[in-house]
């Protein structure tokens, strides 16, 4: 994968902690290639790590899609996809501080805050797709 617009990659599978580590490395490399600042790079890697962990822990595993965007600015779009149970109470999950597992419940809300754009598609029995975008200033 390069930092050029249109470049994309699928990271699959995302099924365990080792995969999350690999995903982190891929996102870090891509963020570096498109020239994100160290602060923005850290934000997007942190968000990606949280979302990938959710895919593994709650989604029963899945995959990630990485893309380089070129609009008015260059950016990176990351999607985390699974075919798991979906999120029953979206508002509650996004509010922060609510975990149905043994987490702090800050992964989704934190990722939303760290990204420039955030989209959540989920439905009971329909899996979950979370997409974040970070634009280069
Ligand atoms: N991919 C997913 N599939 C199903 N449920 C999810 C998924 N991601 C998040 N959730 C739900 O949203 C809640 C909040 O997620 P998050 O903010 O990351 O907190 P935590 O991981 O600490 O539980 C989770 O406890 C879980 O119930
Ligand atoms: Mg989480």
Q: Which atom of ligand 1 is nearest to the CA of 128?
A: 1
Using pLDDT thresholds of 50, 70 and 90, give the confidence band for residue 59.
Answer: very high
* Ligand 1 pocket member 79 (CB < 6 A): no
pTM more than 0.75: yes
Q: Quickly state the pLDDT bin for 2 (edges 50, 70, 90).
A: confident
Determine the average pLDDT of the residues in 34-54: 98
Question: Residue 78 pairs with which residues in a beta bridge?
Answer: 66, 132
**84 in contact with ligand 1, CB cutoff 6 A:** yes
Mean pLDDT over 90-111 rounds to 97
Alpha carbon of 3 to ligand 2 centroid (Å):
28
Residues 6+ apart with CB under 8 A from 53: 20, 107
Query: Does any ligand 1 atom lie closer than 6 A to the CB of residue 127?
Result: no
Question: Does residue 121 line the site of ligand 1, with CB under 6 A?
Answer: no
Q: How many CB atoms lie within 10 A of CB 20?
A: 22
């Amino acid at each position: 994968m390069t930092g050029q617009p249109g470049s994309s990659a699928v990271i699959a599978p995302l099924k365990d902690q080792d995969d999350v580590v690999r995903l982190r490395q891929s996102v870090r490399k891509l963020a570096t290639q498109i020239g994100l600042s160290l602060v923005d790079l850290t934000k997007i890697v942190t968000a990606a790590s949280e979302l990938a962990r959710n895919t593994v822990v709650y989604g029963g595993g899945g995959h990630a899609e990485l893309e380089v965007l070129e609009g008015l600015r260059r950016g990176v779009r990351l999607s985390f996809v699974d075919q798991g149970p979906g999120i029953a109470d979206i508002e509650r999950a996004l509010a922060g501080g609510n975990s149905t597992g043994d987490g702090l419940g800050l992964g989704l809300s934190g990722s939303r805050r760290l990204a420039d754009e955030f989209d959540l598609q989920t439905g009971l029995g329909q899996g979950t797709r979370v997409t974040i975008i970070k634009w280069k200033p």
